[in-house]
Structure 1
Amino acid sequence: MKPRESESPLDAPAAGTQATEAFELLSDETRLAILVALWEHADPFGDDDAVRFSDLQSRVGTADSGQFNYHLDRLDGHFVESVDDGYRLTNAGRKLVRSVIAGTGIEAPELEPTRVDISCTLCGAAVEVQYERGQVYVSCTECEGLWNGDGDDDHSGHLAKFSLDPAGLEGRSPEEIYAAAWVNTFQTIFSMIEGVCPTCTGQVERELAVCRDHDADGRCEECGHRSRGVARFRCTVCKRTTRATLGVLAKYHPRVVALCYDHGLALQYEFNELSHIKARFDRTNTDVEFRSVDPPRARLTTTIDGDEAWVELDETLSVVAVSD
């Protein structure tokens, strides 16, 4: 492979020109201070969120007007835009600052394993919730769980793993943290089902992944999952990924949502409390039947109070058939 001629690592082709330019723009403290100052001034519902040049310079604390103007010009048109009344953040600028506020650069909080009032859906034992490195882990205190850890993830044997920014822990009890992580994941999967990445709005690849040599006795040594098939999503732009059991995926379809609603169980509203999540586990059951392995096709049958509804998914997780 021919070596790169540039000495700058930001010239690496993998990220693309726009990404490398963005990193270069953010490599100066004054520019970052400008973004924070504009964000602190902004009122989301106000009519005037612009800051005049002199006021902005005073907020940042830069005495040299020429130097300040240089850094502001570098941001203008990217993370900042000039308007009649001064300067304000662009959508990209607001998104960047929000990501910092959500937890990037803040000391990472942790939650030691704490029991919550939820029973393991596999064995009925007590369940613990733990927060570490931006993830909420839900683990059974007795059985081996549903999933193996991925890569450097040493949480082998968990029931679920939810992504949650550090800001999600602020002011919440362990039970509320679990519920918030559930809601956040629900919205993430919903967006990815629709083919839109919730992080960057890029296109999403969807896959019904099936283990060809699955061991049905507990977690499979081949794939590391208890279930033979799982739903996998990957953004083609920012590479965000997520996965879900097929039983969870079934509950996004209107046919199943209607079944549960008819039996007094809301799946998409007012479920951000532990009692609602517990009722969802206790009252519903989803069986997975593989109609075909090559190509993958699965029928997901959800039962509640003796009534049932089913949907069939193909290898791209598209719905190909629905019960009456």
Structure 2
Amino acid sequence: MTHGRQGGDGASDPESAGGGASDPEDPDAPTPSDAFGALGGETRLAVVRALDTESPRAFSDLAEATDADTTAGFAYHLRRLTERFVRQREDERYELTDAGRSVARAVAAGTYTASVDRDPVELDEPCPLCDGDGLVAAVADNVTEVGCGDCGGTVLRLSLPPGGYAARDSDEFADAVDAHHRRRIESFDDGVCPECTATVSARIEPAEDEADHGASHRDDEYVPVQTVYECETCGADLRCPVALTLLDHPAVVAFYHDHDRDVRDRPIWNVGSEWRERAVSRDPWCIVVSVRLDGEVLVCYVAGDGRVVDHRRESREEPSARADADDSATGTHTDDSTAVSTDDAETVRANDTAESGPAES
């Protein structure tokens, strides 16, 4: 899983992230450079911190909380802040605006100043790539990398705000990464950017470069795929296996509950060997994601925009029998937990283009 939009050379794209534009709905709004410029200097940040600690406050009280040499000098700094981050109330006292509160939280959390590194710690789960016991998590510049010492593979790289590491020891920060990014995936999947709350688009695409494997694949050929979310405003994005986007789906939660299990018990870097996913159609995309527990299989059908358009439960015997039939007809092996018939694919094709919403329980 990766996150963060990048340009073709791997560098961040400030234009796509809105780095130099003002609010299109308010032509009088300051540009980002003007807004950040207003925060320049320790005196102004001291005002923000003081109002975050206690608010509202009078002019004289605020002046005493800063290092300003003169009243006139302090008034100048406060005036710069009142353009965006501080407002004066009718009783002439001052308080933070919503933007000011956001700045205060970022300063307190060390969002723009702290860089955390942690030595590798062993994880309890086996490696999802080789099933070995060498899975470790290490932190460099606020980014947690989960990798395997046995096979050398990298499972994921995900950032966590520095505050997420500060209050947790080496045995706890991995749990925070898991919880934080589960909620990020849920927010992206709900169509709400977890960074700026703007609209998010979703699509299915191959997880590997088409150029590395030829220009096209047959519909029945195995193709590793991923769900891609992109914010249309700030440029935040996330790419992850399709199965991870289903962890909070009602059908999945109910399936685990009916088998006396909690889908949250396994971290996102290894949700369990019971999960399978397979592309059964590429035009349009149809992804079959299945999970097997205690002889029962939940099969979910995911369309090209990431929606679950249908799902059903089956006994172990039913998909096995279907897989045997498919194997004898095509001469290829199909995992019985994800076996689908031509009718299954056509059902998802129809739902993929239907105007009605997805079929959900």
Aligned partners of 1:278 and 1:289: how far apart in 2? 21
Partner of 1:38: 51
In the other structure, the counterpart of 1:78 is 84
Instruction: Report the Cα distance in structure 1 between the residues aligned to 2:259 and 2:269, rounded to whole angstroms.
Output: 11
- The corresponding residue for 1:162 is 158
**1:47-69 alpha-carbon deviations (Å, 9 max, x no partner):** xx311111011001313222212
Cα deviation for residue 93 of structure 1 reads 1.2
Number of equivalenced pairs: 277
Cα deviation code 1:71-101 (max 9, x no counterpart): 2122225211222361111121111222232
| Rg larger in structure | 2
Matches of 1:99 and 1:76, distance apart in 2: 19
What's the Cα RMSD here?
2.6
1:148 aligned residue:
none
Tell me: CA distance 1:180–1:282, structure 2 relative to 1, closer, same or farther (3 Å): closer
2:146 match: 138
Letter in 2 for 1:31: R
Residue aligning to 2:32:
19
Tell me how far 1:196 sits from its aligned partner: 0.9
In the alignment, which residue of structure 2 is the partner of 1:245? 241
Aligned partner of 1:307 in structure 2 is: 296
Q: In the alignment, which residue of structure 2 is the partner of 1:6?
A: none
* Equivalence for 1:3: none
Name the CA shift for 1:308/1:214 in 2 (closer, same or farther; >3 Å).
Answer: farther
Helix, strand or coil at the partner of 2:124: strand
> How does 1:1-324 map onto structure 2 within 5 Å?
15-17=20-22, 18-41=31-54, 49-83=55-89, 84=91, 86-125=93-132, 126-145=134-153, 158-210=154-206, 211=208, 213=210, 228-267=224-263, 271=264, 276-277=265-266, 281=270, 285-323=274-312
Does structure 1 retain, via aligned residues, the 8 Å contact 2:301–2:311? yes
Whether the 8 Å CA contact 1:284–1:304 is kept in 2: the answer is no
TM-score, with structure 1 as normaliser = 0.77
Instruction: Confirm or deny: 8 A CA contact 2:231 2:237 kept in the other structure.
Output: yes
* Alpha-carbon offset, residue 214 of structure 1: 8.6
Structure 2 unmatched runs, 5+: 1-17, 23-30, 214-221, 314-361
Q: Which amino acid aligns with 1:230?
A: Q
> 1:256 and 1:246 mapped to 2: Cα distance?
13
Q: Comparing both chains, which one has the higher relative contact order based on Cα–Cα distances under 8 Å and sequence gaps of 6 or more? A: 2
The question of whether the paired residues in 1 share the 8 Å contact of 2:224 and 2:278 is answered with no
How many angstroms does 1:181 deviate by? 0.3
Normalization by structure 2: what TM-score?
A: 0.70
In structure 2, the CA distance between the partners of 1:139 and 1:283, relative to structure 1 (3 Å rule), is closer
CA-CA distance at 1:213 after TM superposition: 4.0
Greater alpha carbon shift after TM alignment, 127-136 vs 235-244: 235-244
Does the 8 Å CA contact 2:276/2:289 hold for their aligned counterparts? Answer: yes
Tell me the residue number matched to 2:14.
Answer: none
- Aligned mates of 2:211, 2:152 — CA distance in 1: 17
Residue type of the alignment partner of 1:302: V
Q: Render the CA deviation track for 1:227-282: whole Å, top value 9, x for unaligned.
A: 71011112122211222111212222110111112222223xxx5xxxx3369957
CA 1:278–1:21: 2 relative to 1, 3 Å: closer
**Contact 1:300 / 1:312 at 8 angstroms: preserved in 2?**
yes
**CA deviation profile, 1:124-168 (whole Å, cap 9, x unmatched):** 2121110111211111111243xxxxxxxxxxxx11222211111
For the residue of structure 2 that corresponds to 1:187, the secondary structure is helix
SS at match of 1:200: coil
